[in-house]
Amino acid sequence: MNLLQLKEKVNKGIELGAQVVYIKEESLLFGIEKILKNEENKSIVLVKSKGESLKSEDFINIIDEIYNHIGDVEVFIGKDNKYRNEDKFIEFVEFAQYEDIKMLFLNSN
């Protein structure tokens, strides 16, 4: 998924009230620890975390900053910056609600 597609989907989630963005692989949930930019191959990697994740509004602000700096690039999900060959594509964005918390899941293959 590219950055503008992701931004569009996250904005739709925010309109529905999504407060937090998580990474979802199979049935496991991860936070977003950091975002790595690679200007050479025009991509960014969202690095998984077992801790807290980003608020939806903060995530949109980061996406805007990246877009203004390097443009519409591909977005991947990775474990860390050591194993870049294991980066995965974002397949789709899913809206969910658990009790009072509304959230977005970035689903990878």
Predicted confidence (pLDDT) per residue in 36-55, tens digit: 888 777 899 999 998 889 99
Predicted confidence band at 27 (pLDDT cuts at 50, 70, 90)? confident
**Distance from chain centroid for Cα 43:** 13
Residues with Cβ within 8 Å of 62's Cβ and at least 6 positions away in sequence, in order, are: 35, 54
pTM value? 0.88
- The pair of structure tokens assigned to 54 is 């980003």
